[in-house]
Amino acid sequence: MQSQQVYPSSWTDYQLLDSGEGEKLERFGDYVLIRPEPQAIWSRTWSPEKWHQQAHAHFIREQQDKFRFQDEVKGGWKKIKPMPDHWLIRYRYGDLAITLRLALTSFGHVGIFPEQGDNWNFIYNSIRSWQLAEPTVLNLFAYTGAASVVARAAGAAVTHVDASRPGLNWANQNMQLNGQQDIRWVYEDALKFVRREVKRGHRYNGIILDPPPYGRGPDGEKWMLVDQLQFLLQQVRELLSTEHQFLVLSMYAVGLSPVVGANAAVRAGFTPTAYGEFLLRGSAGLPLPMGTFLRA
């Protein structure tokens, strides 16, 4: 199987307008933001003046080296035009329609990764195709819960695991915005939870993995993707149901080829059905690479 390049195509409330010189210009609903993007080392299509004419807010990095890769970017927002600190956007795909809460966070994120839209479509289609009474889905490193909301909308019983209290609260708000209930919230280190679930003999039809390159769990547990990805996949393999199953893996560690995830999945006993690189198509310029994906 060849590595693929995927451009999420279902968005109307998101648009990459331009990228370059270490930043990206994006529209989220009614608001346009300038945010850091270390991989955008090329020159902009539009002038800096046009960027600032378009933008409502600009996230200014503290560090001088704007191309340095970090898990968390330090800095702050400078508002150029009036806009709220949080707002809502919609995502639609076929008969799926969800509402998601966005916010200007202190580390430059807004609460979603738009390239994940293609994974959401895959998750929704997979669950709907099974025609099970209530399939089960485990979302690990689940952030603000867009994938959890999508899986719940498709009819799954969802367990959402994250080591961030603010992230869990945000995900709960997204659930409520969509008139949903009964997503199971778990505040815990993802790998610890997976180990216990294996011992309990629990099984899930779908497992979603979006591990950070590095980080800390609630009790200070150290996480390094390059050290623990293979073991995590081996453990997760034990949790998957023998029928009606999927694995979705996303990786944002700079320098890791899509083949890395594919090889680790194969060694863990998975048969990848698709893997490759997410790209956002800039309306005024070049495609922007945004991490890798694997599905099995």
pLDDT for the residue 71: 46
Q: Of all helices (H) and strands (E), which one includes residue 177?
A: helix 165-177
Q: Are 191 and 199 in contact (CB under 8 A)?
A: no
For residue 73, name the pLDDT band (cuts at 50, 70, 90). Answer: low
Tokens of 53: 């004419």
Quote the percentage of the chain above a pLDDT of 70.
96
Confidence (pLDDT) at 68: 44
- Distance in angstroms (rounded) separating the CA atoms of residues 89 and 230: 36
3-class SS of residue 225: helix
Report the C-alpha gap between 19 and 25 in whole angstroms.
6
* Residue pair 254/69 in contact by the 8 Å Cβ criterion: yes
Q: Which residues lie below 8 Å from residue 227, measured CB to CB, with a gap of 6+?
A: none
- At 74 the pLDDT is 67
Asked if the model's pLDDT at residue 225 lies above 50, the reply is yes
- Kindly report the pTM of this predicted structure: 0.93
Domains of the chain plus CATH, in order, are: 11-87 (2.60.40.1180), 113-295 (3.40.50.150)
Q: Do residues 75 and 62 touch, judged by C-beta distance below 8 A?
A: yes
pLDDT value, residue 199: 96
